[in-house]
Structure 1
Amino acid sequence: MKRLVATTALLALAGCASVVGDVRPFEPIAPPVAAMPGLPAPAVAPVPTNGSIYAASAAAQTRGLSLFEDNKARYVGDLLTIVLVESTSSRSVAQTSVTKDSGMSLGAPVIAGVPVTYNGQSILQAEVEAGREFAGAGNSTQSNRLDGEITVSVVQALANGNLLVSGQKRMRLNQGDELVQVQGIVRTADIGPDNRITSDRVGNAQIVYGGRGTLARSNAMGWLGRFFNSAAFPY
């Protein structure tokens, strides 16, 4: 029984160690997403009609023929290139210092002009001193920058004309896998003539960049080190 418990614990620790450093991707949006909170209702596809020279083609029943239309993404399945221009910087400084000193002294009492002693030693004289000191300091500086491009696809056309887009890119480089994921809401007016849009104009953006594999785990702290640096450590 003890051997079974030890084996189970080792397997659990090995499983925890195997995922340390790996990026945790979010689940890509899959149509339909009409029930997502905070999003407008999806647009209703037009019903194709027959008997007109501008009727929808058989290959794209939900897309009508337009005389004036550019190459911008506007329909479900269209591709859109997002230019990543993310840059963040933060700094936090905290310093605390607490000092407290206290003391008390009680002289030897005298009764009827005679000090109270025992074997020549004063027994009622007392003196107490106490001191307490605490000092703490913290300094945190973080800066992140993400540049690049990723092509996503339109998942849903919302009723207000905005587009819900989602996409990912996976690259295997040397001994690790690189993952880039982007999803959010874009306005068709923000899409450039070259069918590109910067990431700072993506609403409700979710951007994930990271890696998996040996190289990613080598840059992460182990589970025991994370325990000693957590709030659960008593010292």
Structure 2
Amino acid sequence: MRQRIATQTALLALAVATGCSRLDHVGQPPPFTPSGQVFVNPTPVTPERIALATPSPAEVAAMRAPGSDLAHERSASLWRSGPSSLFGDRRAQGRGDILTVVIEIDEEAEISNATERNRSGNEDLAIAALLGLPKLVDDLTGVSLDPAAQINSSSSSAGDGSVKRNEEITLRLAATVTQVLPNGHFVIVGNQEVRVNFELRDLRVQGVIRPEDISRRNEITYDKIADARISYGGRGQITDVQQPRYGQQVADIILPF
């Protein structure tokens, strides 16, 4: 009896805990994510792969030295290379700069496989004469040794499978350079949320880019982002209705049929 009560209590606590995430927008639209919250990578990049590198004073001096690619001359000339210049380079050049990520995914894949296998075998073993033994066995038992053994076998298998996918996404998103790696590559993070009535659309992107891949319009396409994480979804009343209940999801995992 105590075990049954404990089980019911645990199930009730689980139901309450899973439902609390939906109680924050009962009768009201879902809240926005706090501004500045970075995109959480489901597979975090290890420090060995990406390390936050703070430029040393010597590196800063080298970047600001005359003749360097990232030099920002403070003269009043219109031909300065900095972003404040009328004809300067407007591309993202360091931590905190903003660039536009262009996501244009139009992919179609179709795979079809078919296999067929057949095999057959036949073996016969006969003893026509062995010092009169076949005739003796036939006279005594009525069992003929011709053929003494016969084996037949056959097998066949067939398989057919196909995969067909068609994806098309066209988006533009502003991202911020959050880290500068020792090799000069940038780690970018972008987050955009748009709420319409009681449904919130959420778009997030994260990855590593090379500064030379940024176009003159300060844009970069998604296929030039290494270790890219692109998420497009939403939350709200419509998304809640489209998802199966937590109990049904647990039942689908536990039940073997």
Q: Distance in 1 between matches of 2:50 and 2:179?
A: 11
TM-superposed CA distance for 1:81, in Å, is 1.0
Alignment coverage as a number of residue pairs: 197
The answer to whether the aligner puts 1:78 opposite 2:104 as a matched pair is no
Cα distance between partner residues in 2 of 1:181 and 1:214: 20
Instruction: Tell me how far apart the structure 1 counterparts of residues 240 and 220 of structure 2 sit (CA, whole Å).
Output: 33
Code of the residue aligned with 1:139 in structure 2: it is: S
Instruction: Decide which of 49, 53, 56 is 1:42's aligned counterpart.
Output: 53
| CA drift at 1:208 | 1.0
Partner of 2:235: 212
Which has the larger share of strand?
1
Give TM-score scaled by structure 2 length: 0.56
Offset of 1:219 from its aligned partner?
A: 3.3
User: Quick one: distance in 1 between partners of 2:251 and 2:155?
Assistant: 30
| Residue in 2 that maps onto 1:27 | 40
Give the residue type in structure 2 aligned to 1:6. Q
1:159/1:180 CA distance change after superposition, 3 Å: same
Residue deviations 1:112-164 (CA, integer Å, cap 9, x gap): 7999xxxxxxxxxxxxxxx9998765433222222111111111122322211
1:12 alignment counterpart: 14
**Identical residues among aligned pairs (%):** 22
Q: What is the identity, as a one-letter code, of the residue corresponding to 1:73? A: A
Residues 81 and 150 in structure 1, CA contact (< 8 A), matched pair in contact too = yes
Distance 1:68 1:211 in 2: 41
In the superposition, the TM-score normalised over structure 1's length comes to: 0.60
Shift of 1:193: 2.1
CA contact (8 A) 1:74 1:157 kept: no
Aligned mates of 1:11, 1:140 — CA distance in 2 = 41
Letter in 2 for 1:176: E
Corresponding residue for 1:223?
249
Measured in 1, the distance between the counterparts of 2:209 and 2:162 equals: 37
Question: Relative contact order: is structure 1 or structure 2 higher (C-alpha 8 Å, sep ≥ 6)?
Answer: 1
CA distance in 2, matches of 1:35, 1:113: 83
1:175 corresponds to 2:198? yes
Secondary structure of 1:194 counterpart: coil
Q: Secondary structure at the match of 1:142?
A: strand
* 1:161 and 2:180 matched: no
What value does the CA root-mean-square deviation take over the aligned residues?
4.7
CA deviation string 1:24-72 (max 9, x = no partner):
x95169xxx99623237725144678xxxx89xxxxxxx9646422221
Q: In structure 1, what residue type is equivalent to 2:191? A: Q
Task: Look up the SS of the partner of 1:87 in the other structure.
Answer: strand
User: Higher helix proportion, which one?
Assistant: 2
Gaps of 5+ in 2: 23-37, 66-70, 75-79, 83-88, 121-137, 143-153
> Secondary structure of 2:184's match?
coil
Change (3 A) 1:38 1:205: same
Measured in 1, the distance between the counterparts of 2:160 and 2:237 equals 35
Cα deviation per residue 1:75-99 (whole Å; 9 max; x = unaligned)?
1111111111123333344556789
Q: 2:211 aligns with which of 159, 167, 188?
A: 188
Instruction: Structure 1: give runs of 5+ residues left out of the alignment.
Output: 20-24, 56-62, 102-110, 116-130
